[in-house]
Chain A
Amino acid sequence: MKCSEFLQELTNYLDGVIDDRTKAELEEHLVWCHNCYVVCDTTKKTIEIYRDSQLYELPDDLRSRLRSAIVSKCQAQKKAGPGGD
């Protein structure tokens, strides 16, 4: 397997949606190709870091303000009648 072929399968490999035979070939490639091993490992870390980052959390005060606004708009819409758009 070439490095470019490995890269094409990287997303399927990381997502665990790959057949056993291709997976075995990929893992064999990883044993001897240090660059692909590093790319695979650091890509996996990239995903984990973003997933665990708590980036753009909605603060509680803003959350309740937004929810109140949404609810009152929905109620206004309801009063306007079914399908009142």
Chain B
Amino acid sequence: MSTIQPTLGAPVSDELALVQAAKTGDVGAFEELVKRYDRNVFRIAQHITQNREDAEDVVQDAFLKAYTNLGQFQGQSKFYTWLVRIAVNEALMKLRRRRPERMVSLDEEVKTEDDSLPREVADWSPNPEQQYNQAELRDILSRTIQGLPASFRTVFVLRDVEGLSTEETAEALELSVPAVKSRLLRARLQLRERLNRYFQKRENGDENRGDGNP
């Protein structure tokens, strides 16, 4: 069975030059950095906040904060990792404001018993995503990931959707590498389990289209 490899391949050769120029006040250089990463920041923000307007605010606030604080960027990490750290913090603040009744923290101690051990092991159809049209599939994926705790879905999104390495994810979230790995395993297994109802193979060979109620 082949392994999964991160896909992020942003060119970094000229990135430091852009950052240096932006530090001296070159807004055009900073705009290049915005163009390079705005889609990623929006996706991360919407995954965390689960709200389109909040995600739009996060994109603006995160880039403005990055511009304001460029002087603090030392170049020891990638600019993108530094930016993601700012964006995640902005997104979590939005989420806390919107859901004050729920504790939202990346440090929240997740249950240590085997709460994510697979309960239902069902094989999937060969190409499960092809049972649904694009809009249906996006709806299923969106509602499924929304059910995960913020700390799990944030790690999953950075690591598996955006392709940051485990170490970069740990740095962006200010978590230890073992903490990232533990949350990532749980996030992956919980998503898998929740997707069973939509993707599992039926005994009689029919494909299961789920009931639309996760």
Contacts and interface: CB of A to CB of B under 8 A. Distances in A.
A77 B30 CA distance: 13
A53 B188 contact: no
Contacts of B1: 27, 30, 40-41, 44
B30 A50 contact: no
Contacts of A41: 1, 123-124
Contacts of A71: 27, 30-31, 34
Q: What is the interface of chain B mostly: helix, strand, loop, or mixed? A: helix
A7 B117 contact: yes
Interface in A26-71: 27, 30, 35, 38-58, 62-63, 66-67, 69-71
Contact of B141 (A15, A53, A82, A85): A53
B123 A38 contact: yes
B184 A39 contact: no
Interface residues of B, number: 55
A66 B185 CA distance: 35
B99 interface: no
Contacts of A66: 38, 42, 56, 59-60
Given A46-B192, A49-B141, A50-B160, A70 B60 contact: yes
Interface string B175-199: 0000001001100110110011001
22 contacts: A8-B185, A10-B189, A11-B188, A13-B3, A16-B4, A35-B118, A39-B189, A39-B192, A42-B124, A44-B4, A46-B195, A47-B188, A49-B128, A55-B141, A56-B142, A57-B43, A63-B39, A67-B31, A70-B63, A71-B27, A74-B30, A78-B27
